[in-house]
Amino acid sequence: MKLSTRGRYATRILLCIAREQDGGPVRKQLIADRERVSSDYVEQILVALRSSGLVNSHRGAKGGFTLARGPADITIWEVLQASEGPIGLVPCLGNEAHCRHTGTCVTRTLWEGAATLLHDYFQGVTLKELVEREEKLIGEQVLMYDI
């Protein structure tokens, strides 16, 4: 399984919104500037995140984007599904028609086990947790700089 830049940036975009939304809706251009990607690319990702119910958009002069739920209620699995689509290690897990060895494939259980581990890991990590990890990393960098 290889995540695309879309999945990685979707996670970073939601982290940015989670950090910044206390000041109100977060503007698309602020996100693009912080993440150093084009505003158009941010827009494409935000459309997918909005369609999946992860963000709300707000119009007007003070418009922008906010999380649709609290950061503790949004898992990274949801973010990846919204941005990447169905996530699978091998095609046969999603559709047995892709497998010439259906019913006799000993490796299928191997792939199913790995897919379950990935799902459970990403389902167990929330945006809130990532925000806290980031704050800790930033704090550690500041401490190292001060020494």
The reported pTM is: 0.85
| CB-CB contact of 55 with 46 (8 Å) | yes
Higher local confidence (pLDDT), 69 or 86: 69
Could you tell me the domains of the chain?
5-146 (1.10.10.10)
In angstroms, the CA 99 to CA 144 distance is: 53
Mean pLDDT of the chain: 89
| CB-CB contact of 13 with 42 (8 Å) | yes
What does residue 95 show for φ and ψ, rounded to 5 degrees?
A: -155, 110
Q: Which of 91, 71, 88, 87 is nearest to 22 (CA)?
A: 71
Q: Which residues contact 106 (CB under 8 A, 6 or more apart)?
A: none
In angstroms, the CA 107 to CA 92 distance is: 11
What's residue 50's pLDDT? Answer: 97
pLDDT class for 81, splitting at 50, 70, 90?
Answer: very high
Higher local confidence (pLDDT), 70 or 146: 70
Is residue 54 predicted with pLDDT exceeding 70?
A: yes
Is residue 63 predicted with pLDDT exceeding 80?
A: yes
